[in-house]
């Protein structure tokens, strides 16, 4: 495994990095989108056009459009107030930096709220947590969302084991979460996604912690495909299913789960396996090994939607939503307008 830095010096390169998942995960998409708009302003590109390209690079994570919008609004306001190109570009960069800072702060708060919730739901403090996809420092201005809670538990001495779903087809769990768990010295075990059922049946899971790409007004949660089956398993086995996400992942303009656009990705991600060292994904990003006959069709949604009745709690930086209902989500959103 190696950690490498990808430098994007123009907007098309950043759009490509987003679409090939070199830059991925809801909070980081928001931060990258905001920096992308400031890059456009600094380079003298058409900022509105760049903002549109960036916001549309991927459809499901609402943070991307949010980050782009915040930076583009800062640019518009600066221009309106008479700033020249340089002044408008600095104002846009300042907006991106502020979003980045706020995300780091949100991450710290989610970790604290999440650990308090775990300790309340599971007294005795020896947690075996199952997680899916990647939600750590690699997708955040801070230490992440769900992963940050597990890390907080680890630091408090109450994490017995982190079960890491490999997360087919692009292996965010195996390639990224296992890496982050190892570098933090956490006790972790990797499993194939289809092994989760037997793990629950064996009584080895105390809680599921996942992130989110978009939370609808009714509390429906879109997250990496494979999250919904975990929620069904958790319900059956009476295990808390906890979603950890910043307030910016809640989209009051999306009324329910059916209204969330789920990104459909290319068939080759399923019919071929990618090399673990690939930075992004795509035919040119590394070695791809065919695992199905040539021409095989594939069903490859990047996300699935978990209905609110399967979610025990949503942990945000503003506090915990539980029970997860439209009314409770609205109350949290109202609180964020007062902050
Ligand atoms: O397709 P990806 O890798 O961008 O999907 C990411 C996820 O589904 C994450 O779980 C989600 O964005 C939360 S990240 C803190």
Q: Per residue in 201-238, pLDDT tens?
A: 999 999 999 999 999 999 999 999 999 999 999 999 99
Beta strand segments in 225-290, E? 241-244, 250-251, 272-274, 288-290
User: Rounded to whole angstroms, what are the CA distances from 210 to 131, 223, 241, 299?
Assistant: 6, 8, 8, 23
Q: Which residues of the chain have pLDDT under 70?
A: 275-286, 337-339
For ligand 1, which residues put their CB under 6 angstroms from it? Answer: 21, 24-27, 61, 133, 135, 139, 144-145, 172, 211-213, 223-224, 302
What's the complex ipTM? 0.98
Q: What is the pLDDT of residue 295?
A: 93
Q: What is the pLDDT of residue 2?
A: 79
Give the separation between CA 37 and CA 148, rounded to whole angstroms.
28
Nearest to 181 by CA among 145, 150, 218: 150
Torsion of CA 134, 138, 142, 143, to 10 degrees: 50
Strands 288-290 and 272-274: antiparallel
Q: What is the pLDDT of residue 278?
A: 61
Q: What is the pLDDT of residue 61?
A: 96
Give the separation between CA 48 and CA 36, rounded to whole angstroms.
12
Average pLDDT of the residues of the chain: 95
User: Rounded to whole angstroms, what are the CA distances from 96 to 33, 37, 67?
Assistant: 8, 8, 8
Which atom of ligand 1 lies closest to the CA of 224? 8
289 C-alpha vs ligand 1 centroid, how far in Å?
Answer: 24
- Catalytic entry in 103, 193, 213, 251: 213
3-class DSSP state of 296: coil
Q: What is the torsional sign of CA 94, 136, 308, 260?
A: positive
Q: What is the pLDDT of residue 327?
A: 98
- Share above pLDDT 90 across residues of the chain, in percent, rounded to a whole number: 91
Q: Which two tokens stand for residue 42?
A: 């600094």
Q: What is the pLDDT of residue 274?
A: 74
- Determine whether 213 is an active site residue: yes
Q: What is the pLDDT of residue 3?
A: 84
């Amino acid at each position: 495994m190696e950690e490498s830095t990808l430098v994007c010096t123009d907007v098309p390169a950043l759009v490509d990095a987003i679409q090939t998942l070199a830059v991925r995960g809801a909070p980081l998409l928001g931060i990258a989108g905001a920096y992308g708009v400031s890059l456009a302003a600094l380079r003298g590109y058409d900022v509105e056009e760049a903002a549109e390209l960036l916001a549309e690079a991927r459809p499901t994570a609402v943070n991307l459009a949010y980050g782009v919008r915040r930076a583009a609004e800062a640019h518009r306001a600066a221009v309106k107030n008479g700033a020249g190109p340089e002044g408008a570009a600095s104002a846009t960069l300042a907006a991106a930096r502020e979003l980045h800072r706020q995300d780091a702060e949100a991450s710290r708060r989610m970790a604290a709220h999440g650990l308090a919730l775990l300790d309340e739901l599971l007294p005795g403090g020896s947690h075996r947590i199952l997680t899916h996809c990647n939600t750590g420092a690699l997708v955040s201005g801070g230490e992440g969302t769900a992963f940050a809670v597990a890390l907080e538990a680890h630091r408090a001495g109450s994490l017995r084991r982190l079960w890491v779903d490999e997360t087919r087809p692009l292996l965010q769990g195996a390639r990224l979460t296992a890496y982050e768990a190892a570098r933090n010295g956490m006790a972790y075990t990797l499993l194939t996604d289809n092994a989760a059922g037997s793990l629950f049946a064996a009584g080895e899971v105390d809680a599921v912690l996942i992130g989110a790409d978009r939370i609808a007004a009714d509390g429906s949660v879109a997250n990496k495909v494979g999250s919904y089956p975990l929620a069904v398993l958790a319900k059956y086995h009476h295990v808390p299913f906890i979603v950890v996400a910043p307030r910016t992942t809640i989209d009051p303009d999306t009324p329910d789960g059916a209204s969330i656009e789920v990104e459909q990705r290319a068939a080759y991600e399923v019919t071929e396996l990618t090399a673990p060292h690939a930075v992004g994904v795509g035919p040119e990003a590394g070695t791809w090994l065919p695992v199905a006959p040539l021409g095989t069709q594939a069903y490859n949604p990047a996300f699935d939607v978990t209905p609110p009745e399967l979610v025990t709690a949503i942990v945000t930086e503003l506090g915990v939503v539980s029970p997860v209902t439209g009314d409770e989500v609205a109350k949290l959103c109202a609180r964020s307008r007062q902050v």
